[in-house]
Structure 1
Amino acid sequence: WAGGRAGAAGDWLRIVPLDHDGPTSKADCLNALYTAARADAPAVYLLHDAEDLVDPDALTVINLLVGRYPMVQLPVEPLAQPSWFGVANHYMDEFAESHGKDLPWREAVSGGVPSAGVGCGFAADALDTLARARGGRPFRPGSLTEDYEAALSLALALGNRGGRLILARVPRRPGAPPVATRAYFPHRFSAAVRQKARWYVGIAYQGWRLLGWPGGVVRRWVLLRDRKAPLVAVLALAGYGFVGAYGGYWLTAWLDGGAAAASAPAWGAAPGTLALVQVNLALLAWRAGHRMVYTGRTYGWRQGLWALARMPVANLVNACAAVRAGWLVWGHVRSGRPLVWQKTEHSFPDPARLPGPGRRPGEPAS
């Protein structure tokens, strides 16, 4: 917990040990920090990870808005890495589209956005409201996505009493990138799969179990969009197999001068199959265009083009993460084995190579 004025070492930084042995979770640690920080009566609780690059204007933006809104979330912009495989950089594409399009839409239709766990400010009175309902612990220790769960629970607890949670996209000047939180994301395939599996378990499974399906049609539709992600990830991988099989059918027919068509599966020549494939290709082009546009807006047109090449990598990571998440949940349900919070591997930024204020995340520092 860092509080008070920055001065001599030890004047503003306080170490908060837990009062029990591990294993522990991030939510457990956050609850201990919350309890210790309450003694200083802060106006806002700001969540960041140690590896985050905190924007110089982040505190100003959150401080200006948190008096009007119970939670303020800044955009998250993963930093570009020299990864030819695209594991690390596919996070750029997903966050650019999510925080550039999906969350603003979500805020407009439902009056709230989930917390990303970093670059996120909770108003003290709002977090106190949640803590009182949970025996002094605002974050659920057993949740693998404690920030997401806490933000949605907060919106439900406040209801119509000023419970609007916002994503603050505030540029320093017209045309400049927004004030955002930046960090390196996992560059190894296995680390990315573990991280996203934790997200899937926490959001899809635990979110369903802990929160249910509250609210009206719009709120339930938003929750459905969150919770269908593991299923969509697996179906996307199955779609690649279908496209490969269908493409192989037509390639074989073309190479054999049409002779193979007579012995091909009936579904290959069915009148409705070609129309179905064409509709799906149109939808794929539409989705790919969105991904390229929003990545290009955040990181420049070159990265926007690379976003198209990274889509299969993203789908593979997400599909493997969905399978891992399903395995973890199955083991939990079958044997009662607790779902354990796993720390994500991170690389810490080199200050000499980081972009300065107002520069795009992909641009080199001067």
Structure 2
Amino acid sequence: MSFAAWGGWTVVEWLLLIERELLLFALFWFVIGMVDELAVDAIWFCMRLKPGFRTPYLSQDVSQGRLEGHLAVFVACWHEADVIGATVANMLRCWKESEYILYIGCYCNDPATVAAVTAIGGSDPRLRIVIHDKFGPTTKADCLNRIYKAMCADEQRLGRRFKGIVLHDSEDMVHPLELMLIDRALSDVEFVQLPVRPEIPDGAHWVAGHYCDEFAEAHARAMPVRDALGAGLPAAGVSCGFSRDMLELIGEVRMMESVDGPFAADCLTEDYELGMLIPHLGGRGCFLRCRDADGNLIGTRSYFPDTVLTSVRQKTRWMHGICLQGWDRLGWNMRLVDIWMSVRDRRGPLIALVLFAAYILLLVEGVLAVARFWLGKDMPQLAPPPAYLHYAMNLCVIGLIWRSFMRALFTGREYGWREGLLAPLRLPVANVVMILAARRALWAYCRSLGGARVIWDKTDHRVHPSLLASAMPRPGALENIA
């Protein structure tokens, strides 16, 4: 077997050089990422040592059927006829309180969604259907601004001001105690976020399951740490509440940017941006993690994409809005803890690049293994690698084992030990989705810099959690750990 030479080097020698460079690049960023995650782990373990850190359990009667103030619940819809009826019915059934109005925003060219909402609760006084005068889809933020205008008109008509605004998506399954928790929290802070619990669909769920892994760890470890450090908290767009006064202040700021409402119409992740704006404007936020008497999280449950294509589309929007637009639109806060958390939020494209390099490295290693077998003693050799390279590799292996253990721990706590054991095996799926989403997000961002219009590239929803028995709450087998 002969290997062609190029620049005086054989193909094998070039591959050995590429192997060395890719290894150095990947190890450098893997070590930095491992140190970053270990810092969050250390803070989380320190928090666990404090009395009262464990997740509190609340009984149904704590709300006593009444809210301290009036709340407005916003749901923006576009082509959601398959799920919005079940969502509205579930909300009106779960939330017994009368001190809220559910605003459903629809478009004039989406009659199926309007009909689905009307058929479920058209006569309920707690339901208000808002028809956008623009043809959809615009952006979710634009639809929310139209709902906000309708709410302001209702305030003038009724002579009553809402205490807060709660955001939800059209596929959400809510908890009966959610409004009570948000209502109480908004008496002390300007923004509150409750956990999100992705549901496991029937059958194979390698793609949908990785959302369970990510949210279980993020909303049980990362978000409590951010809250404890006093850093800005990102809003998830569901199970999050904002004080009425703060949204009005944000709306006034937006007016200076020629935006008619508090939601940034040209932003793909207006919910994330809202949460991060709160501390910039002198407000406070908090993350509340509570369970009911049965051990179920008080927050939102919903199905997430279960195919690679739909998952990539969704994460493209997240990465475009948070990592790329967020850098442009929000800049950097001068506080060290906020800089740290902003870097964590915006590291997605870099992580995708490092992972891509690592997978290319695996392919190169495969080719070199064949070359070593074929050439034997004639295999070319480069200079011996420095000693620190071996230490870094061993450190990364230990870090991978630790991260897999932590992910399995949090997933198992929420979904049971079987899903906990599957969580590390789903890491390659999450990596592939991130790599593909980063490529699409960078391309979409470059097109937006060239003047392309930002559109609502929403996720399609076909099944609501309340329609399937398999989506009923299942307390985690390891609940006693937190």
TM-score > 0.5 by shorter chain? yes
Matched, 1:345 2:460: yes
Question: 1:248–1:296: structure 2 CA closer, same or farther, 3 Å change rule?
Answer: farther
The one of 125, 138, 153 equivalent to 1:11 is 125
The one of 303, 309, 315 equivalent to 2:431 is 315
Deviations 1:162-220 (CA, angstroms, capped at 9, x unpaired): x22111101224x9243121000011211100100000010011111111112322111
Measure the CA separation in 2 of the matches of 1:231 and 1:86: 24
The one of 441, 455, 470 equivalent to 1:325 is 441
More strand by share: 2
Tell me if structure 2 keeps the 8 A contact 1:292–1:308: yes
The alignment's C-alpha RMSD in Å is 2.7
Matched with 2:303 is 184
What amino acid does structure 1 have at the position aligned with 2:229? V
TM-score if structure 2 supplies the norm length?
0.67
Matched with 2:265 is 141
The one of 333, 350, 353 equivalent to 1:231 is 350
Tell me if structure 1 keeps the 8 A contact 2:416–2:476: no
Measure the CA separation in 1 of the matches of 2:284 and 2:381: 54
Structure 2 gap segments, 5+ residues each = 1-71, 74-99, 103-119, 156-160, 478-482
Tell me if structure 2 keeps the 8 A contact 1:80–1:361: no
Measure the CA separation in 1 of the matches of 2:150 and 2:144: 10
Summarize the alignment of residues 150-189 of structure 1 with structure 2, pairs less than 5 Å apart: 150-158=274-282, 163-173=283-293, 176-189=295-308
Matched with 2:80 is none
Measure the CA separation in 1 of the matches of 2:457 and 2:468: 30
Tell me if structure 2 keeps the 8 A contact 1:74–1:120: yes
Measure the CA separation in 2 of the matches of 1:315 and 1:202: 19
Structure 1 gap segments, 5+ residues each = none
Matched, 1:62 2:182: yes
Say which SS state the counterpart of residue 291 (structure 2) adopts: coil
Tell me if structure 2 keeps the 8 A contact 1:246–1:268: no
Identity %: 37
- Cα deviation for residue 291 of structure 1 reads 1.1
Summarize the alignment of residues 1-366 of structure 1 with structure 2, pairs less than 5 Å apart: 3-4=100-101, 9-38=123-152, 39-40=154-155, 41-84=161-204, 86-135=206-255, 137-158=261-282, 163-173=283-293, 176-246=295-365, 249=368, 260=376, 263-266=379-382, 271-333=387-449, 335-346=450-461, 347-353=463-469, 355-356=471-472, 359-360=474-475
What amino acid does structure 1 have at the position aligned with 2:394? Q
Deviations 1:50-74 (CA, angstroms, capped at 9, x unpaired): 1111011111211121111111111
Tell me if structure 2 keeps the 8 A contact 1:53–1:183: yes
- Cα deviation for residue 128 of structure 1 reads 1.5
What amino acid does structure 2 have at the position aligned with 1:31? N
Question: 1:242–1:11: structure 2 CA closer, same or farther, 3 Å change rule?
Answer: same
Measure the CA separation in 2 of the matches of 1:112 and 1:260: 57
Measure the CA separation in 2 of the matches of 1:193 and 1:268: 40
Moved more, 186-195 or 122-131: 122-131
- Cα deviation for residue 261 of structure 1 reads 6.5
Measure the CA separation in 2 of the matches of 1:20 and 1:224: 37
Tell me if structure 2 keeps the 8 A contact 1:54–1:182: yes
Measure the CA separation in 2 of the matches of 1:245 and 1:110: 44
What amino acid does structure 1 have at the position aligned with 2:465? P
| Number of equivalences | 352
